[in-house]
A and B are shown apart, each in its own frame.
Chain A
Amino acid sequence: MSLTSRIKSLLVAPALDEQINKIRKPIGSLGYDPWGYNNESVKIGFSLARLLYDRYFRVEAHGVDKIPEKGPVLIIANHSGQLPIDGVLIGYALASREEKPRIPRAMIERFFPTVPYLGNLLNEFGAVLGDPTNCAKMLANDEAVIVFPEGVRGSGKLYQDRYQLKRFGNGFMHLAMKYKATIVPVGVVGCEETIPAIANIKPLANMLGVPYVPLALPAVLPAKVYLNFGDPLFFEDGEISEEEVTERVEQVKAAINEQIDKGLSERKRLF
């Protein structure tokens, strides 16, 4: 028995196997899609994510059913916590919901594909290089895509800037309009406290060719995480100026802020 099969038999219960198989994905004859998603690997990833979601971060998710059961969707959230834990938790919330689960795709930093093992592993779990062409092709495939428009500005933010949204790129709005994708705003509360960083060691980051190197405890703290999904937003396509696109982006940003405030008010303690 190969190592992968052994891990799978240990982690993946038959019910989960069946549950993932039931979720429709545009995959080829060997279970892969063009971006490297693999149905069998996702089952292992799902089991590991469940441990993080239920046991470690004890996630409370509200409103995940607001994500449409089919059609192109952009799940837009605030980014935080140095590592893409927020993406994993949002993805799990949607993949494990009782009614019409979906396996969403998360757009990841351009740096990850260059990292041995990790790059391929993330791809197999459904993460995709954050490139507009990839996002466009996936929306055309009716996928649900998780996007963090803050990018590294969000994930690398310091603890002192927690829950302050950084600048959003406009790219996601153009794609949402073009592909008539529903936007679902999500407020993530708790991930800021998982790896609180007090500084970014820029020279070391430049030397290693990575976006940032946080000065933080070498551990992921078990902060309790709240995910609040807002009401779906639709934006008509049309010839509008970039200024108007930015206004629409601000609307999404405001919706996310509202969900963050909701999460913060729900939270009784950090851990």
Chain B
Amino acid sequence: MTAKKTTPNKRPRILVTGAAGALAQQVINRLRDECDLVAVDFREQVYLGDDIPSYCIDFNKRVFEDLFRRYEFDGVIHLGRIQSSQLTPMRRYNANVLGTQKLLDLSHKYGISRVVVLSTYHVYGAMAYNPALIDEEAPLKSAGLTMDLVDSVELENLANIYLWRYPDLNITVLRPCNIVGPGVRNTISLLLASERAPVLMGFSPMMQFIHIDDMADAIVLAYGKKTRGVFNVAPDDWVAYQRALSMCGCSRIPVPSIPPAVTSAILRTLKLKSFPSYLMNFFKYPVVIDGRSFAREFNFKPRRPLKEIFRYYRENKRPV
């Protein structure tokens, strides 16, 4: 590990990954006044102002290490997770698992003292026997349920190994519920923003939604307090999927829900980006997480209620 010179009153220097995403940009906007930020993204280079150097870099390339040498980061906020709906499974594995490993290795090598990793509630897996208010200690079943979420679980496992092996990294893994709001391009946001959304006949699982602004606040709060561990991030509010759709002004298109093989075949044929077949069970069975531990530890209280979130989607059927 490289020893780092510490200068009193120095502005913290933070590497933010996934800079092309709306969430990372919200986080950057919250931190830019008090921190020196460097933004990187696996997919594209984004302009974030003259004060923030921005790079398009594959974490697995050797030049990535040059950033650590040049900027002497104090912390890393790793939001650059490639979602399951993006890229091929192999490229996703390379980016999410091997890329994260490289990032954590370099963080350890260059004496970084704070790492926040963004994961997803999808790691718990959707199945009929899930209890509600799932704790962080619950097993991560999704790898056993669908191959398309293996990289998400592997990313978490990796972060957990580094969390215990290198306590100086002070790793915090955040498992948020559905992140939604302006600029968010994940599957659930695309669904809420659409005019018509598929539903599985006879199933309307309970869901949780967190506004992108609240999630950005949560990440900034997490970065500011060096509590290691894994935390769910979700508001204490719940809504059934079909009710959420109707509140967003979406017409519901029923898809046969039984037998599951037929549903899966229909979804595979349709190849909808917003309703992929491997997420089918998330629209059938609830995966309700318990975010109280994070709220207590980091004094977090989401400020945007569900009604406000859904109003945005109702009024912006083609969101920014």
Q: Residues of A with Cβ closer than 8 Å to B?
A: 28-30, 32-36, 38, 110, 113-120, 123-124, 128-129, 131, 133-134, 137
For the complex, is B262 an interface residue (Cβ under 8 Å from A)? no
> Which of A32, A131, A133 interacts with B206 by CB under 8 Å?
A32
* Contacts A36-B206, A113-B128, A116-B258; A29 near B305 (Cβ below 8 A): yes
Please report the C-alpha to C-alpha distance between residue A117 and residue B239 in the assembled complex, in whole angstroms: 16
| Interfacial chain B residues near A131, Cβ < 8 Å | 129, 131
| Interfacial chain A residues near B288, Cβ < 8 Å | 34-35
A–B Cβ pairs within 8 angstroms, 25 of them: A28-B238, A28-B239, A28-B306, A29-B306, A29-B307, A30-B247, A30-B307, A32-B206, A32-B239, A32-B243, A34-B132, A34-B206, A35-B288, A36-B205, A36-B238, A38-B240, A115-B202, A116-B202, A117-B202, A128-B132, A129-B128, A133-B131, A133-B133, A137-B131, A137-B133
Range of interface residues on chain B? Answer: 20 to 34
Is B129 within 8 A of A129, CB to CB?
A: yes
Please report the C-alpha to C-alpha distance between residue A95 and residue B183 in the assembled complex, in whole angstroms: 45
Is A110 within 8 A of B129, CB to CB?
A: yes
Given A32-B243, A124-B240, A129-B129; 8 other pairs, CB 8 A cutoff: A30-B306, A32-B240, A36-B206, A36-B240, A36-B286, A113-B129, A115-B202, A134-B132
Q: Residues of B with Cβ closer than 8 Å to A?
A: 128-133, 200-206, 236-240, 243, 247, 257-258, 285-286, 288, 290, 305-307
Interface centre among B237, B238, B306 (most CB of A within 10 A): B238
How many residue pairs link A and B with beta carbons under 8 A? The number is 77
Please report the C-alpha to C-alpha distance between residue A209 and residue B30 in the assembled complex, in whole angstroms: 53
Is A28 within 8 A of B240, CB to CB?
A: no
| Interfacial chain B residues near A35, Cβ < 8 Å | 132, 206, 288
> Which of A34, A110, A124 interacts with B128 by CB under 8 Å?
A110
* Contacts A35-B206, A120-B203; A28 near B236 (Cβ below 8 A): yes
| Interfacial chain A residues near B238, Cβ < 8 Å | 28, 30, 32-34, 36
Please report the C-alpha to C-alpha distance between residue A25 and residue B233 in the assembled complex, in whole angstroms: 23
Question: A-B pairs with the 7 shortest C-beta distances?
Answer: A116-B202, A28-B237, A133-B131, A117-B202, A34-B132, A113-B128, A131-B131
Please report the C-alpha to C-alpha distance between residue A30 and residue B307 in the assembled complex, in whole angstroms: 8
**How close is A132's CB to chain B, nearest CB, in angstroms?**
8
Please report the C-alpha to C-alpha distance between residue A28 and residue B244 in the assembled complex, in whole angstroms: 13
| Interfacial chain B residues near A116, Cβ < 8 Å | 200-203, 257-258
**How close is A158's CB to chain B, nearest CB, in angstroms?**
28
Please name the residue on chain A nearest to B234 by beta carbon: A34
| Interfacial chain B residues near A28, Cβ < 8 Å | 236-239, 306
**How close is B139's CB to chain A, nearest CB, in angstroms?**
12
Is B239 within 8 A of A30, CB to CB?
A: yes
Please report the C-alpha to C-alpha distance between residue A134 and residue B128 in the assembled complex, in whole angstroms: 13
Please report the C-alpha to C-alpha distance between residue A35 and residue B305 in the assembled complex, in whole angstroms: 19
Please report the C-alpha to C-alpha distance between residue A128 and residue B151 in the assembled complex, in whole angstroms: 32
* Contacts A36-B286, A119-B203; A29 near B240 (Cβ below 8 A): no
| Interfacial chain A residues near B286, Cβ < 8 Å | 36
| Interfacial chain B residues near A32, Cβ < 8 Å | 206, 238-240, 243
| Interfacial chain A residues near B204, Cβ < 8 Å | 120
Is A113 within 8 A of B237, CB to CB?
A: no
**How close is A213's CB to chain B, nearest CB, in angstroms?**
18
| Interfacial chain A residues near B129, Cβ < 8 Å | 110, 113, 129, 131
